[in-house]
Every structure is written in C-alpha cells, then in structure tokens.
Amino acid sequence: MNQKILVTGGLGYIGSHVVVELQNEGFDVVIIDNLSNSSIEVLERISSITGIKPMFELLDLKDKSSVVEFFKKHIDIIGVIHFAASKAVGESVQLPLLYYENNLNSLIYILQELQKKENSNFIFSSSCTVYGQADSLPIIESAPIKEAESPYGNTKQIGEEIIRDTCKIVPNLKAISLRYFNPVGAHKSSKIGEMPIGTPQNLVPFITQTAIGIRQQLSVFGNDYPTIDGTCIRDYIHVVDLANAHIAALKRLINGENESNYEVFNIGTGQGSSVLEVIEAFEEVSGQKLNYQIVGRRIGDVVSAYADTTKANKVLGWIAKLSLKDALKSAWKWEVNLRRK
C-alpha cells in the first residue's frame, strides 16, 4: 500500500508539478482544487505524463464541513502539501477580505483536522515575500520578517505564524514552510506549465505571451533601481526543481529526520537575475526578439531578492539543478505547445 498524500490546489501551476514528482516517487496522490485558478484538463495532462490518474475532489476549502467530511473519508492520508490560496499581489490590495478569508480559513480548517490524527506531516507553500526588502543579500532564513507589502504577503506571514503556534501545542503535527523565490518554467513534456487566467502577474508568462503575439508589449517597471542595469533583481527557480524540494521536505518529515516540529527553508537558486537579463536570456534561447518598453516603477516592488540556499542544500540534501535558460526554454516550449491547441 503506497503512502497517500493530499495536495491542495494540485491542479495549479506549482501543485501540478509536485503531483507529477510525487507520483514518480511512488506516492498515492489525492488532489483538492476548487478550479478558481486552474483547469480540470490538468488532471488528464498529469495522467498522460505519469500514466497514473490521481484521485480528485472538487472542493472549496473555505467550507469547513466539506473539509471535515473529506478527512473522514480519507483517513489514511499521511501528509498534506498545501498550495490552495489566492496569489495575485495587486488583487489582494483591492480585495483584502477575500484573501484573508480564502488563504487563512482554508489553512485553519486543514490544521484542525490534522491535529486529530496520530501523526501528520504538513508542507506549507510560503514565499520570499515574507522578507520584504531584506537588509542584506543573499537572504537567510533568520532574516527579519518585514511588514508585508500586500494582504497576499501578509497571509503568508500569518499562515507561517498559525502553523508555528499550532506545532508548539500539537506534538503529533510536524510542518515545514518552504519560502519560494520566483518559480518559472514548465515540465519537459510541455504538458503542464504556467497558465495564468487573464493578464499574467508574473514576468515569464508575460514574456512568452508577448513573444507569441498575445500581448503587444512587455512593460519593464523601472530602470533606475540601484542594480546592475537599473531593473529589479529576483531569484528565478525552475518549477521542477521547486517540486523536488517538496519531495525532499516531505520525506524528511515522514522519516522523522526533522530537528523540530516546525522548520523553514528558502527554496531558490541563490542566483539573482535582473529583468533585462531575463529578457536577454529568453531572446537567446527562443530566437524571438521581444517588444518591451521601460515604464515607471510599480508600487510595492522590492529592489532585489535572492536566496541563501545553504540550509536547504545541507539539511534537505536538495539543490537546484536547472538553469534560468533551461527554465525559459521550457516556458517558451510550453507556450508554443499551448497555442497549437
């Protein structure tokens, strides 16, 4: 009997890649998704990659009674990887209550069920947004948590606090928060990738949509920052590397290798790239010239953020293996494949 893992938001961008890697590792997977920012087609795409169709439940985690019933039905779940959350920074500023309700209530209802179990392993999808503009680079896990720039960022900070406080009093609950930097790229099969609904909020899908002609022009927000070329710097990590970090973290908890009930790890490459460097790298790997324009700065943008990944490398035994160019090549292949349909 294989070990059963629940992946919430498992049809989303990162979730779907994690489901593939879990199945490749021999885990049984059950997905919860409300399809608010994903598509049921992704289920078939996962199946065509792995040869296994994961169990799926269409469920809204804000509905407490549905969460209770789900855990009664799936009593053999030994681990939860929690992605289900609203994640657009700008939208969160406009709709703060929606973000707090969705991102915090769903987390609380899952933890309430996990504390009833004899043994629970929980991986939380956190974010480098919790650091804000860090005082020094690269950013280490013990860096101060700054006041959040958006309700979205705040839900990640509060989410971590909720998990930490729960782990203090529930000895049978073990949890790890993974603070991602900037996930990019797609699976090598080009069957799953980033598929934003509406206007992309992230740089790489905006680049690929501009290159393929869906968007007329790419806006580069500011070129007067104190960086190598005046544009913002981020740590771009291939989504498959990120997915494998979840597997490493989950195995650490299942095998009882964790040093405390609650641990935190940065997940990035340790390498910062500016917006213009990303554009140049994309043009190189795709052979496409991008139509981009420098515009004014965007409110809330951090100047520079990249990870110190020493802890994840040493403690989890995980390391990012794929390059920015690998990620951009796969993102472009995914975009082209998507538009052929």
Of residues 213, 218, 240, 212, the one with CA closest to residue 336: 212
Burial class (CB in 10 A: 0-12, 13-18, 19+), 187: buried
Phi, psi of 140 (to 5 degrees): -100, 160
Give the whole-angstrom CA distance, residue 150 versus residue 91: 9
Give the distance, in angstroms, between the CA of residue 142 and the centroid of all CA atoms in the same chain.
20
**What's the CA gap between 172 and 185, in Å, rounded?**
36
The string over 136-146, giving b where at least 16 C-beta atoms fall within 10 Å of a residue's C-beta and e elsewhere, is ebbbebebeeb
- Residue 21 sits at the vertex; the CA angle it makes with 17 and 23, to the nearest 5 degrees, is 115
**Secondary structure tally for the chain: helices H, strands E:** 12, 14
Distance CA 132, CA 115 (A): 31
Is 152 a catalytic site residue? yes
Q: Which residues in 128-214 belong to E strands, given as ranges?
A: 173-180, 182-184
Instruction: Pick the catalytic residue from 13, 109, 131, 152.
Output: 152
Closest to 320 measured CA to CA, from 255, 243, 252: 243
Residues serving a catalytic function are: 152
